[in-house]
């Protein structure tokens, strides 16, 4: 069973220890950078670092950024550790993120940006109904409408 739990003193080191394959390093920021970003924006109350758990083991990391002003739920960073890839954890974790976005009382869409050339992420997003929203210099931005039940 996959669960997203806030990074805490129990999961912190496991999140830092996660790595990706050498060929994927240009596509994913190191988790230490993502945790630093979360700390930097902590006073805003809109950036949330999560450990991705498979039962009792940390297998990945997700950084969520919620901007209620534009009703946007953003999966800012997302990674599954190298040794855990190919086991369905990325798909299962993305489904949890989608469910969280749908359950959010304000946000009506989910955004994911990824570095051009990251075919694993492109496939995962397209398989889950995301569509290209915009293109930036180095990244493609994909969007999924998440109407859910809003207040």
In a domain, 114, yes or no: yes
Q: What is the pLDDT of residues 4-22, one digit of tens each?
A: 999 999 999 999 999 999 9
In a domain, 63, yes or no: yes
Q: What is the pLDDT of residues 81-133, one digit of tens each?
A: 999 999 999 999 999 999 999 999 999 999 999 999 999 999 999 999 999 99
pTM of the entire predicted model: 0.94
Give the total number of structural domains in the chain.
1
At residue 150, the pLDDT reads: 58
In a domain, 135, yes or no: yes
In a domain, 151, yes or no: no
In a domain, 106, yes or no: yes
At residue 59, the pLDDT reads: 99
**What's the CA gap between 58 and 106, in Å, rounded?**
29
**What's the CA gap between 102 and 94, in Å, rounded?**
12
The whole domain housing 73 covers 2-145
In a domain, 13, yes or no: yes
Q: What is the pLDDT of residues 25-84, one digit of tens each?
A: 999 999 999 999 999 999 999 999 999 999 999 999 999 999 999 999 999 999 999 999
List, as one string, the DSSP characters of 39-73.
Answer: HHTGGGT-EEEEEEEETTEEEEEEEEEEEGGGTEE
Q: How confident is the model at residue 148 (pLDDT cuts 50, 70, 90)?
A: low
In a domain, 150, yes or no: no
At residue 147, the pLDDT reads: 83
Q: What is the CATH number of the domain that holds 84?
A: 3.40.630.30
């Amino acid at each position: 069973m996959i669960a997203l739990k806030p990074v805490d003193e129990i999961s912190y080191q496991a999140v830092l220890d996660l790595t990706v394959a050498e060929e994927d390093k240009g596509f994913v920021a190191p988790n230490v950078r993502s945790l630093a970003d979360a700390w930097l924006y902590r006073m805003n109350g809109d950036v949330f670092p999560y450990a991705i758990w498979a039962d009792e083991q940390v297998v990945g990391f997700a950084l969520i950024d919620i901007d209620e002003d534009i009703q946007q739920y953003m999966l800012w960073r997302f990674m599954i550790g190298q040794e855990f890839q190919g086991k369905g954890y990325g798909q299962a974790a993305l489904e949890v993120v989608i469910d969280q976005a749908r359950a959010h009382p304000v946000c009506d869409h989910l955004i994911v940006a990824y570095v051009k050339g990251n075919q694993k992420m492109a496939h995962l997003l397209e398989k889950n109904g995301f569509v290209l929203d915009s293109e930036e210099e180095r990244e493609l931005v994909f969007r999924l409408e998440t109407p859910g039940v809003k207040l």
